[in-house]
């Protein structure tokens, strides 16, 4: 590999997210439906380095160039395969931090897939997915990059047929960041206090994915605690519903919020309304 290679790394939304239990090791069991999205996306510009190993640079503050999902993915692959090519990676961020979109996990999967494609002795998809799970619970999903049901801590991935073709998904990314670690801590604290609060315009229970009732279809276990600290996210969700969305939900631990529209013209109207309010907005025809 002599020339620069640009890897495009997308993101995901959780079309529902149930935190089902907390394990003794501190991890949380989930039941979620993951949907890959091409936008927003990051780019990883890969060139040949001077010595075996990887060097990562990024202009965005808050990313440790020596220890991040890309370097951890490289180290895991090198340990498993013995393949240690000299790489320089310039990470160009387009997926916002703290948005609940899995941008870091997507970057890890991108570098794993790249190493697998250039390795003299590839590890195979099954081994690659096991390595991915060591880096982050949702990294295996990005190896597959198709709609999947996720269980366990997110590492048990089952591809699913996509039943919602024809809907328009609107993804809104406000200038708010939510730490996943904080969100889990807040959720645990609420459980310990035996607080049972309902989410905004969604309820708990097993989701009926053949129903598009605002009150009963989508659920995100994080919404009550995140909305309590960031009421502007609740307001964003309510605004999307007022614009005619069949359903709306915060993705992951936030702060992004998405909505599903039956009518594309409603989605386009909401897009035009939101983009002038310091919110990055993306449209996806499913």
Q: Give yes or no for a contact between 191 and 221, defined as CB atoms under 8 angstroms apart.
A: no
Active-site residue identified among 31, 42, 138, 266: 138
Catalytic residue status for 208: no
State how far the Cα of 286 lies from the Cα of 63, in Å rounded to an integer: 32
Query: How many whole angstroms separate alpha carbon 285 and alpha carbon 269?
Result: 15
Q: Which of 12, 42, 237, 266 is catalytic?
A: 12
**DSSP string of 178-234?**
--HHHHHHHHHHHHHTT-----SS---SS--TT---TTTS--BTTHHHHHHH-HHHH
What is the gyration radius of the CA atoms in the chain, in angstroms? Answer: 19
Residue 107 CB contacts under 8 Å (≥ 6 apart), including other chains: 9, 42, 44, 68, 69, 70, 73, 91
Question: Is residue 275 annotated as part of the catalytic site, yes or no?
Answer: no
DSSP character at residue 162: -
Q: Which residues are the active-site residues?
A: 12, 138
């Amino acid at each position: 590999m002599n020339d620069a290679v640009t890897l495009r790394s997308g993101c995901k939304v959780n079309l529902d997210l149930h935190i089902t239990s907390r394990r003794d090791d501190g991890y949380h069991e989930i039941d979620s439906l993951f949907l890959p999205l091409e936008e927003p996306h990051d780019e990883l510009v890969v060139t040949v380095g001077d010595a075996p190993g990887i060097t990562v640079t990024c202009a965005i503050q808050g990313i440790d160039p020596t220890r991040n999902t890309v370097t951890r993915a490289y180290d895991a692959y090198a340990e498993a395969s013995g393949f240690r090519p000299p790489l320089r990676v310039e990470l160009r961020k387009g997926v916002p931090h703290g948005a609940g979109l899995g941008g870091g996990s997507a970057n890890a999967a991108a570098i794993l897939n790249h190493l697998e494609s250039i390795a003299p002795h590839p590890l195979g998809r099954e081994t690659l997915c096991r390595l991915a799970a060591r880096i982050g619970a949702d990294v295996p999903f990005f190896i597959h990059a198709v709609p999947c049901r996720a269980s366990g801590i997110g590492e048990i991935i089952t591809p699913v047929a996509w039943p919602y073709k024809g809907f328009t998904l609107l993804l809104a990314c406000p200038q708010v960041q939510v730490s996943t670690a904080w969100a889990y801590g807040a959720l645990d604290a609420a459980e310990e206090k035996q607080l049972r609060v309902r989410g905004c315009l969604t309820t708990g229970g097993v989701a009926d994915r053949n129903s598009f009732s605002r009150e009963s279809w989508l659920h995100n276990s994080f919404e009550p605690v995140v909305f309590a600290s960031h009421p502007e996210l609740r307001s964003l969700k309510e605004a999307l519903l007022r614009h005619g969305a069949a359903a709306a939900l915060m993705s992951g631990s936030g702060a992004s919020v998405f909505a599903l529209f039956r009518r594309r013209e409603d989605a386009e109207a909401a897009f035009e309304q939101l983009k002038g309010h310091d919110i990055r907005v993306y449209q996806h025809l499913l």
